[in-house]
Amino acid sequence: MDVLRWMRDHEAVMIAIAVGSVVAFIVGLLIASWAVVRMPADALLEDAAHHDDHPVRKVVRNVIGWVIIVIGIALLVLPGQGLITIALGMMLVDFPRKRQLILWVLARGSIHRTIDRLRARKGRPPLHLPSDD
């Protein structure tokens, strides 16, 4: 098999890919944790969700988000954390029904509890969801 022979012949490349994959996974978790802790507790409530962002900031955030999504798609077939990378990119990009998708994911009790525990460890109030009335 040519692929196996290539992998044996390029052991340093394979080690670099493995290390890069682990680093990408850890960095992805750190960025996601940082974003969740930094998010205002009422960010997902109806009134807070309609704040106007500066147009230049919006464009930059969307471009960066789409680049991250494309990298995540590539990482689905390359060694790396594709799904986490795509999720991080989607957090930055504006798209229809994004808020509903985020609320649907956060409505899972275990995810919401995990986020609230992480926020509590950093001295932040729990994340308020519309159903928390």
Reported as a pLDDT band with limits 50, 70 and 90, residue 133 is very low
Number of domains in the chain: 1
CA distances from 36 to 11, 77, 103, 106 (A): 38, 28, 14, 11
User: Domain range spanning residue 109?
Assistant: 2-132
Q: Decide which of 27 and 132 is more confident.
A: 27
Describe the crossing of helices 11-38 and 82-92 by its angle, rounded to 10 degrees: 40
Residues 86 and 65 sit within 8 Å (Cβ to Cβ): no
Statement: residue 95 has pLDDT above 80: yes
Statement: residue 11 has pLDDT above 70: yes
Lowest mean pLDDT among 6-10, 50-54, 86-90, 104-108: 50-54
95 CB-side CA count, 13 A? 12
Statement: residue 30 has pLDDT above 60: yes
Statement: residue 1 has pLDDT above 70: no
